[in-house]
Structure 1
């Protein structure tokens, strides 16, 4: 999600989150404690912008690997917003 956050800055989609707001957004997810400290702000930004929404069981799965479909999806979004 940190990579998605960085890509969104390149394409002009930006959102600034403060530490308290980030903590509040992450607290809604059962596995947010598994997120690396350095990635938490990026994850919160992605949640706030609606880029990611977590899974149905209120988890983020921050340690899971991205699928090929996910790579294609985010690559397509980056190409479309770059135009």
Structure 2
């Protein structure tokens, strides 16, 4: 994980089953991200103020960049269910 993090990619950070809750959190009235249709090889794509964020999926694990990693950890802090890990 450290080696890929040095390159700006986080591998396996986001569980595929948690993406719907993450997407709902980002697209609520407070955060205002607009979910877009993911392209091939993507599990999630969203847009806000000229910035597009993507979570890729390579059939084994998710991959994301620094912006998504920061949003993911913020999401975990404010998540309302008991699955905070």
TM-score norm. by structure 1 comes to 0.32
Bigger RCO of structures 1 and 2 (CA < 8 A, at least 6 apart): 1
